[in-house]
């Protein structure tokens, strides 16, 4: 054997052995197939995709043990299918409970924390949007079909759709005391994720304002599929919406300064008749913080943190 090839062959053999060991460990870990271990199962699914299947694809062209690797790939894919089936069954049960009205706001919150461990008071992401197992879990509950394509061209100043990280909504619920009289607006509500989650976590009436009709239809169908009440979706430009019933307004940077000033002018007029609260996340916080008729309750202004403003 060529001495120069020996280290390469040894490395390939080690990689194949590692892949075999990793697959066997997952196959024998029965805890992963118990519904309650969602966090570990989600991490394992990521591991299968990025540390097993990706490695197999990388090793395949370099070795003559292709039959072995294809067999390992099949075992890994079967594991992924079985783990995903556990999640699908779990999501179905939760959806059925939501439809039947089995959850109170507190019991829904407790149920989520039972399956996903997270700290809503500690935003570890700085300078970038971060999604985690909490998003995976809630996506499984709220998603019923593929995300639709946009049908309307975005106007200048409108930002492409990006889902609000779920931990931000939990943080908001920790910091804001919602009452039965509150009406919550999500400006740029997209697929309806925020208005459904806020409704389930707090019980308050929620209204989504969304310019794209395909997103509105998706949200409306999702709300109906879960038999949720006290939620409304309005297909309208945020600059033309009626905000007269609301007192809490949320924005995850749905548009830039060109549009946001017009929207803030509308909200300023609403604040003349009652106290309102504006909650922001992302770059839009900069423009909101400049408003003289609003006062921030946040100790440090940071676009990568949830910010809460009260009207004066």
User: For position 129, what pLDDT does the model report?
Assistant: 59
Q: What is the residue-averaged pLDDT of the chain? A: 91
Of the pLDDT bands very low, low, confident and very high (cuts 50, 70, 90), residue 2 is: very low
Angle at 94 between CA 144 and CA 35, to 5 degrees: 110
Of the pLDDT bands very low, low, confident and very high (cuts 50, 70, 90), residue 183 is: very high
Out of 33-37, 125-129, 177-181, 203-207, which region has the weakest mean confidence (pLDDT)? 125-129
**Fold for the domain defined by 133-311:** Rossmann fold (3.40.50)
For the chain, domain boundaries = 6-99, 133-311
Query: What does the alpha-carbon distance between residue 276 and residue 295 come to, in Å, rounded to a whole number?
Result: 11
The 3-state DSSP class for residue 209 equals strand
Does residue 288 have a pLDDT over 90? yes
Does residue 1 have a pLDDT over 50? no
User: For position 149, what pLDDT does the model report?
Assistant: 85
User: For position 5, what pLDDT does the model report?
Assistant: 47
Backbone angles phi, psi at 279, to 5 degrees: -120, 130
Q: Mean pLDDT, to the nearest integer, of 265-292?
A: 95
Q: List pLDDT tens digits, range 187-241.
A: 999 999 999 999 999 999 999 999 999 999 999 999 999 999 999 999 999 999 9
Does residue 287 have a pLDDT over 70? yes
The answer for 104, left when phi > 0, alpha when psi is -120 to 50, beta otherwise, is beta
Q: List pLDDT tens digits, range 138-155.
A: 999 998 878 888 888 777
CA 282, chain centre distance (Å)? 15
Query: What does the alpha-carbon distance between residue 63 and residue 185 come to, in Å, rounded to a whole number?
Result: 57
Question: Which tops the pLDDT comparison, 1 or 104?
Answer: 104
| Residue 218, H or E segment | helix 213-225
The answer for 192, left when phi > 0, alpha when psi is -120 to 50, beta otherwise, is left
């Amino acid at each position: 054997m060529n001495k120069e090839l020996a280290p390469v062959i040894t490395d390939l053999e080690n990689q194949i052995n590692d892949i075999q060991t990793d697959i066997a460990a997952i196959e024998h870990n029965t805890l992963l197939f118990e519904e309650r271990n969602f966090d570990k199962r989600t991490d394992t699914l990521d591991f299968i995709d990025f540390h097993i299947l990706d490695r197999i694809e990388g090793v395949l062209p370099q070795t003559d043990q292709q039959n072995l690797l294809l067999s390992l790939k099949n075992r890994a894919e079967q594991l992924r299918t079985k783990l995903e089936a556990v999640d699908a069954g779990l999501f179905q049960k939760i959806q059925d409970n939501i439809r039947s009205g089995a959850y109170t706001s507190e019991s829904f919150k407790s149920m989520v924390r039972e399956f996903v461990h997270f700290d809503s008071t500690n935003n570890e992401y700085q300078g970038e949007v971060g999604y985690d197992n909490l998003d995976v879990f809630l996506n499984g509950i709220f998603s019923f079909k593929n995300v639709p394509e946009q049908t309307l061209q975005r106007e200048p100043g409108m930002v492409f759709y990006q889902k609000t990280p779920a931990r931000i909504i939990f943080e908001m619920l920790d910091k804001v005391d919602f009452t039965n009289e509150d009406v919550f607006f999500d400006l740029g509500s997209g697929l309806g994720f925020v208005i459904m989650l806020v409704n389930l976590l707090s019980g308050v009436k929620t209204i989504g304002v969304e310019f794209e009709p395909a997103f509105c239809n998706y949200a409306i169908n999702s709300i109906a599929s879960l038999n949720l009440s006290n939620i409304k979706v309005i297909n309208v430009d945020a600059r033309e919406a009626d905000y007269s019933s609301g007192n809490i307004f949320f924005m995850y940077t749905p548009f830039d300064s060109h549009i946001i000033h017009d929207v803030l002018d509308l909200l300023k007029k609403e604040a003349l008749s009652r106290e309102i609260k504006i909650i922001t996340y992302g770059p839009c916080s900069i423009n909101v913080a400049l408003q003289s008729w609003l006062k921030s309750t946040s100790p440090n202004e940071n676009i990568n943190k949830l910010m809460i403003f009260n009207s004066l």
